[in-house]
Amino acid sequence: MVCPTCGQEFCPECQTALDPLEAVCPGCGAEFDLLCPRCEAVLPPDADLCPGCGLAFGEAIVQAAPAEAGEEMRPCPTCGEPIHLTEGFCRECGQELCPRCGEAIAEEDDRCLHCHLALYFDCPLCGFELTAGTEVCPSCQALFPRHCTACGMALAEDFAPCLGCGQMPEVAVRPPVSVAHIIAVQGQNVRLMSCPGCSRPFDPRAGDCPQCAARVCPICQLALSATERYCPRCGLEPDAARGALQVNRSCPQCGQPLAGDEDACASCGQLLCPRCQGAVAEDDVRCPHCDAEFELACPECGQEVGAEEIACPHCQTVF
């Protein structure tokens, strides 16, 4: 867990500030692995050379959170600042990066010169040209799975069988489950989702749809079929995702505790992503941390509204 403003690293378990090469959290005792920024081999704390790929480093080792935290932080090969590998570029210097190995790439490159990943591919459903690492096709809205729905293992390649169980990932259009209502329960806003099976509003954080047993990932808000054990986006089982949402979180701006479903911190007013609770700006239409897309909804009637609206066109509530 890294502050997007100053780069300070924090323990993902208790949010204690960490030094770059600390292998044990001084606050809660959680242990971390140091990973090679190129091949992700586990390194001893005093390593100067990666035993896996031979990369020489020293100060450039990036501390990795525990495996279940799912963070993909690397040092930018150009300026050394921590970067999210899934973003594909460095926010500090603008360098474009390979989404697999994190090495620098040029705009004219068709393949990464380091790991040979094809940097462009055509959507198998509509043929639209996309860059490697794209999660959703902007043309037909097809979702490219990042985890195997049978075993939950992260997929190493697009359109290749899972290395864990051999199942072929399915590329399909998976529209997100829409918000049906927003209700206040004990002072907190609860989003009731429209069931993809029967359209009945229900809270996926409480379980499957009580009417038809349809399954939804409560973190990604994606519908899951009866045969899919794991979410293709986050790789979690629905029960594990519900447990993750109940973990105590703190505001990335002021550090005050969060209930886990706020749109803004009650203490400092920092706007938050409703999926991952990361800090977002007023004009963000996509979360910079988890890539969630945002829709603006009227707090009174729950209907979608435009960013430029000063009053709800459905119920006339003034914002």
> What is the Cα gyration radius of the chain?
21
Report d(CA 40, CA 35) in Å as an integer: 5
Residue whose token pair is 């005050």: 256
pLDDT of residue 18: 73
pLDDT of residue 61: 38
Is pTM, for the whole model, over 0.85? Answer: no
CA atoms within 13 A on the CB side of 20: 13
Picking from 178, 216, 187, 198, the residue whose alpha carbon sits closest to that of residue 297 is 178
In this structure, the number of other CB atoms found within 10 A of the CB of residue 233 comes to 23
Report d(CA 286, CA 276) in Å as an integer: 12
Q: Which long-range contacts (CB under 8 A, 24 or more apart) does 75-78 make?
A: 75/37, 77/102, 77/103, 77/104, 78/104
Report, as ranges of residue numbers, the positions in the chain whose pLDDT lies below 70. 1-8, 12, 19-23, 32-73, 86, 183-189, 245-250, 254-255, 259-261, 275-276, 283, 289-292, 295, 307-308
CA distances, 51 to each of 39, 63, 287 (Å): 10, 17, 36
